[in-house]
């Protein structure tokens, strides 16, 4: 268990590609910390810098106050789980798991005991003497997990460990990784491009894009109160609408004028972001929440099981996505029909389109 402190980390490839720019991150001891972002955002570069497989150009990495970026990779005491499992094919499952322990001078009964415990933790007790080629991908990754955690490293790194597995196994192993991490309390840095995975598994998420940190926060904060336009767009689905103050003191949106909140610190234009599930459909007889009322027509309707997605078109041509949970059958045959919707003002998150930063709204 250890906390991690990353300060001013930079890494460039060639003279043009900046893989990491001025990264500052604090990771609390025992927490599950996820680096989330699209491919090429720098998350893997950052992970490999922590592991010691890459040398950053500038900056420092500290574990529990000790600087480690100058320490060779094999002396950092960091466990790692790889995307392609990286199981040693010439060693049995037990020998794979015992590999790091032997390097640490553990032998005999103690070695056997710890290997057995680790295999039990990942539910592979019965496979100790098998060769890895006889195992499925999911089992191989369990071996990878056992091998990395059995050395009780200060820090455990996972580089997209689930991305080579099929969907069902992915969900299963995801839960197991989460449980084992909580049980052992090893500080863990996890890399993924899958936002749902990140939300489920993490204590804190660091969203990265183009080599910079966009936002660090709990899954709730990342999803519900994104501080950057990129985060709002990358995590979950999101509607974006241009908006601005008009001369009468209202907000100009969808080609009309609405009496809404006053936007602080955005003089001219803003961008309104709202989640599809936060928009309500006006139905006869049902209570209508307060907010921006808008007349639309249904352009497309997709039934997705637990919810339906409406693609609506406003009079000015704006496209609005709305998710309706538990849709009734009668609501699924409305293509081409008119539909009125309400966007609650308090559910709108405002961004400055120039900087991409969130701007506060003062209630109307």
Partner 1 sequence: MSSRARPGIWTATLVVAWLVVAVLLIYPVITILSESFIDNSGGHFTLAHYATMFTDDYYRQALFGSLFVGLASMIGSLVLGLALAFLTTRFVIRGSGLLSTLTILALATPAFVNAYAWIMMFGANGFIRTGLTSLGLPAPTIYGAGGIILVFTFKYFPYVYLLTANAFAAANRSVEEAAENLGTPPVACFFKVTLPLIFPALSSSALLTFVLSIADYGTPAVIGRNFHVLATEAYMQFSSELGGNLGMASTISIVLMAISLLFVALQRRLASRDRYGGAMMNRPIVKHLTGGRWLLSHVVCYAIVFIATLPSAVVVYYSFRKTRGPVFQPGFGLGSYERVLHNVSDAIVNSLIFSVSSVAFIVVLGTLIGYLLVRRGGIFASWLDNVLMIPYIVPGIVMGIGFLAAFNQPPLAITGTGLIIVLVIFIRRLPYAVRSTAAILGQLSRSSEEAAISLGCSPAQAFLRVTLWLILPGVFAGALMSFVTAINELSSSLVLYVGSTMTMPVRIYLSVLDGDYGTASALATILLAVTAIAVVAALKLTKQGGRSII
CA–CA separation, 128 and 105 (whole Å): 20
CB 38 within 8 A of CB 208: no
Contact flags string 6-25 toward partner 1, x per CB under 8 A: --------------------
Q: Which stretch binds partner 1 (CB under 8 A): 18-26, 67-75, 198-206, 330-338?
A: 67-75
Q: Which residues contact 286 (CB under 8 A, 6 or more apart)?
A: none
What gap in Å lies between CA 140 and CA 143, rounded to an integer? 5
DSSP-H helix ranges across 155-276: 167-184, 195-201, 219-224, 229-234
Asked if 335 touches partner 1 (CB under 8 A), the answer is no
226 binds partner 1, rule: CB under 8 A: no
Q: Which of residues 13 and 220 has its CB atom nearest to partner 1 in the complex?
A: 13
Interface with partner 1 includes 80 (CB under 8 A)? yes
User: The tokens of 364 are what?
Assistant: 């109307």
Do residues 178 and 153 make contact, with C-beta atoms less than 8 angstroms apart? no
CB 78 within 8 A of CB 58: no
Query: How far is the C-alpha of 219 from the C-alpha of 275, rounded, in Å?
Result: 16
Number of Cβ within 10 Å of residue 284's Cβ equals 4
Residue 56 touches partner 1, criterion: CB under 8 A: no
Among 2, 63, 87, 128, binds partner 1 (CB under 8 A): 87
Q: Is residue 104 at the binding interface for partner 1, with CB under 8 A as the rule?
A: yes
Which part of the chain contacts partner 1 (CB under 8 A), choosing from 87-95, 252-260, 305-313, 322-330? 87-95
Q: Is 66 in the site for partner 1 (CB under 8 A)?
A: no
Q: Which of 9, 78, 111, 158 binds partner 1 (CB under 8 A)?
A: 78
Name which of residues 142 to 171 contact partner 1 (CB under 8 A).
144, 147-148, 151, 157
Is 75 a residue that touches partner 1 (CB under 8 A)? yes
What is the C-alpha to C-alpha distance for residues 30 and 2, in angstroms, rounded to an integer? 7
Which of 185, 186, 140 shows the shortest CA–CA distance to 165?
Answer: 140
What is the smallest separation between the CB atom of 26 and partner 1, expressed in angstroms?
23
Q: Please, what is the minimum distance in Å from the beta carbon of residue 140 to partner 1? A: 12
Binding residues for partner 1, rule: CB under 8 A, are 51-55, 71-80, 82-90, 99-100, 103-104, 144, 147-148, 151, 157
């Amino acid at each position: 268990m250890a906390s991690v402190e990353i300060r001013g980390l930079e890494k460039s490839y060639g003279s043009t590609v900046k893989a990491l720019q001025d990264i500052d991150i604090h990771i609390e001891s025992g927490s599950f910390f996820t680096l989330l972002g699209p491919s090429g955002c720098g998350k893997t570069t950052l992970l490999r810098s922590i592991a010691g497989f890459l040398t950053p150009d500038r900056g420092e990495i500290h574990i529990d106050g000790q600087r480690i970026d100058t320490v060779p990779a094999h002396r950092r005491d960091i466990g790692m789980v790889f995307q392609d499992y990286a199981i040693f094919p010439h060693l049995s499952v037990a020998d794979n798991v015992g590999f790091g322990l032997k390097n640490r001078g553990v032998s005999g009964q103690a070695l056997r005991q710890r290997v057995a415990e680790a295999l039990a933790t990942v539910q592979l007790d019965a496979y100790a003497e098998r060769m890895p080629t006889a195992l499925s991908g999911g089992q191989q990754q369990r071996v990878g997990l056992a091998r990395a955690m059995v050395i009780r490293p200060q820090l455990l790194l996972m580089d997209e460990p689930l991305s080579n597995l099929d969907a069902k196994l992915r969900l299963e192993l995801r839960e197991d990784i989460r449980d084992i991490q909580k049980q052992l309390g090893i500080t863990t840095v996890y890399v993924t491009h899958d936002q749902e995975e990140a939300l489920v598994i993490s204590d804190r998420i660091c969203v990265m894009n183009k080599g910079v940190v966009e936002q660090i926060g709990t899954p709730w904060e990342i999803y519900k109160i994104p501080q950057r336009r990129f985060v709002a767009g990358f995590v979950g689905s999101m509607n974006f609408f241009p908006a601005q103050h008009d001369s009468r003191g209202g907000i100009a949106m969808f080609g009309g004028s609405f009496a809404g909140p006053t936007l602080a610190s955005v003089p001219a234009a803003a961008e309104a972001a709202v989640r599809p599930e936060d928009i309500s459909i006006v139905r006869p007889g049902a209570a209508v929440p307060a907010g921006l009322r808008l007349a639309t027509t249904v352009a497309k309707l997709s039934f997705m099981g637990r919810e339906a997605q409406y693609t609506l078109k406003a009079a000015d041509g704006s496209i609005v996505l709305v998710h309706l949970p538990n849709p009734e059958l009668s609501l699924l045959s409305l293509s081409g029909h008119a539909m009125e919707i309400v966007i609650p003002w308090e559910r709108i998150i405002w961004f400055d389109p120039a900087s991409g930063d969130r701007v506060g709204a003062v209630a109307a």
